[in-house]
Amino acid sequence: MLPGCKAAGAPSCRAACGRLTGVVIRWNTKSKRRVAKTRRQERSALCHVLKRTSQRTAIGLVSCQFGMQALRVPVRRGVKVTPKARACRYLGAIIAVCVVLTGCTLADGEPATPPPSSPAVSTTPFETAQEREERLAYEAAEKAFRTFRAEYDRLYQVPSPRLTRAITENAAGPYLKVMTGFLKDSARRDRRADRPIRIVYVRRAGYSPTELILETCEDGSKIKVLDPQGRQVGHGGTSELRLYVRPVNGRWKVWDGDQTVVSKGGG
CATH number at residue 151: 3.10.450.50
Q: Does residue 157 form part of some domain?
A: yes
Ramachandran category for residue 21: left, alpha or beta (phi over 0 → left; psi -120 to 50 → alpha): alpha
Contact 219, 181 (CB under 8 A): no
Q: Does residue 39 form part of some domain?
A: yes
Domain containing 199 equals 129-263
- In this structure, the answer to whether residues 136 and 77 fall within a common structural domain is no
* Cα 90 to chain centroid, rounded: 51
Taking only the tens of pLDDT, the chain with its 267 residues reads: 444 444 444 444 444 444 444 444 444 444 445 444 455 565 665 555 555 555 444 444 444 444 444 444 444 555 555 555 555 554 454 444 444 444 444 445 555 566 665 555 555 578 999 999 999 999 999 999 999 999 999 999 998 888 899 999 999 999 999 999 999 999 999 999 999 999 999 999 999 999 999 999 999 999 999 999 999 999 999 999 999 999 999 999 999 999 999 876 555
Contact 50, 67 (CB under 8 A): yes
Hey, what amino acid is at 29? T
Q: What is the pLDDT of residues 87-141, one digit of tens each?
A: 555 445 444 444 444 444 444 555 556 666 555 555 557 899 999 999 999 999 9
- In this structure, the answer to whether residues 167 and 70 fall within a common structural domain is no
Domains identified in the chain, total number? 2
How far is residue 169 from each of residues 75, 114, 205, measured CA to CA in Å? 104, 60, 23
Residue 251 φ/ψ, nearest 5 degrees:
-130, 140
Per-residue confidence (pLDDT) for residue 161, from 0 to 100: 84
Distance CA 140, CA 254 (A): 11
What's the alpha-carbon Rg for the chain, to the nearest Å? 48
Q: Does residue 117 form part of some domain?
A: no
Per-residue confidence (pLDDT) for residue 15, from 0 to 100: 42
How far is residue 145 from each of residues 186, 241, 260, measured CA to CA in Å? 21, 12, 17
β-strand partners of 206: 213
Supply the angle between the helices 11-19 and 58-70 in degrees, to the nearest 10.
0
DSSP conformation letters of 169-219: TTB-HHHHHHHHHHHHHHHHHT-EESS--EEEEEEEEEEETTEEEEEEEEE
- In this structure, the answer to whether residues 147 and 71 fall within a common structural domain is no
Q: Where are the alpha helices (DSSP H) in the chain?
A: 11-19, 32-53, 58-70, 83-104, 129-156, 165-168, 173-189
3-class SS at 66?
A: helix
Contact 105, 112 (CB under 8 A): yes
Contact 194, 234 (CB under 8 A): no
- In this structure, the answer to whether residues 145 and 42 fall within a common structural domain is no
How far is residue 267 from each of residues 161, 227, 230, measured CA to CA in Å? 17, 10, 13
- In this structure, the answer to whether residues 91 and 9 fall within a common structural domain is yes
Distance CA 194, CA 224 (A): 6
Length of the chain: 267
- In this structure, the answer to whether residues 44 and 86 fall within a common structural domain is yes
Per-residue confidence (pLDDT) for residue 2, from 0 to 100: 44
Per-residue confidence (pLDDT) for residue 263, from 0 to 100: 72
Per-residue confidence (pLDDT) for residue 238, from 0 to 100: 95
Distance CA 175, CA 178 (A): 5
